[in-house]
């Protein structure tokens, strides 16, 4: 869990791999404001275990495919 005010730098690798494979979701993600992108990156990247990051990245991709700006888990 990230402390208040802390953020993940850049897009987590697990999410980036999925975005690279889905052009439409990637375009939508890149069009989001910085705060929305940061929300997705923080959620995926803050998981301690690699398996959890992969699961979160897959869920994030589905949300981005559905054009969800905000993170609704």
Number of other CB atoms surrounding residue 49 within 10 Å? 8
Predicted local distance difference test score (pLDDT) of residue 18: 97
Can you tell me the mean pLDDT for 26-52?
A: 94
- Could you tell me the residue ranges of all domains in the chain? 13-65
Cα 70 to the center of its chain, rounded Å: 11
DSSP 73: -
Number of other CB atoms surrounding residue 64 within 10 Å? 22
User: What is the signed CA dihedral for 25, 30, 63, 44, rounded to 10 degrees?
Assistant: 120
**Whole-model pTM above 0.85?**
yes
Predicted local distance difference test score (pLDDT) of residue 71: 75
Predicted local distance difference test score (pLDDT) of residue 9: 83
């Amino acid at each position: 869990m990230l402390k208040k005010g802390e953020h993940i730098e850049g897009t987590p690798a697990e999410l980036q791999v999925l975005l690279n494979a889905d052009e439409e979701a990637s375009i939508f993600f890149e069009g989001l404001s910085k705060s929305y992108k940061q929300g997705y990156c923080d959620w995926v990247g803050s998981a301690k275990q690699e398996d959890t990051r992969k699961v979160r990245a897959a869920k994030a991709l589905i949300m981005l495919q559905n054009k969800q700006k905000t993170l609704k888990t």
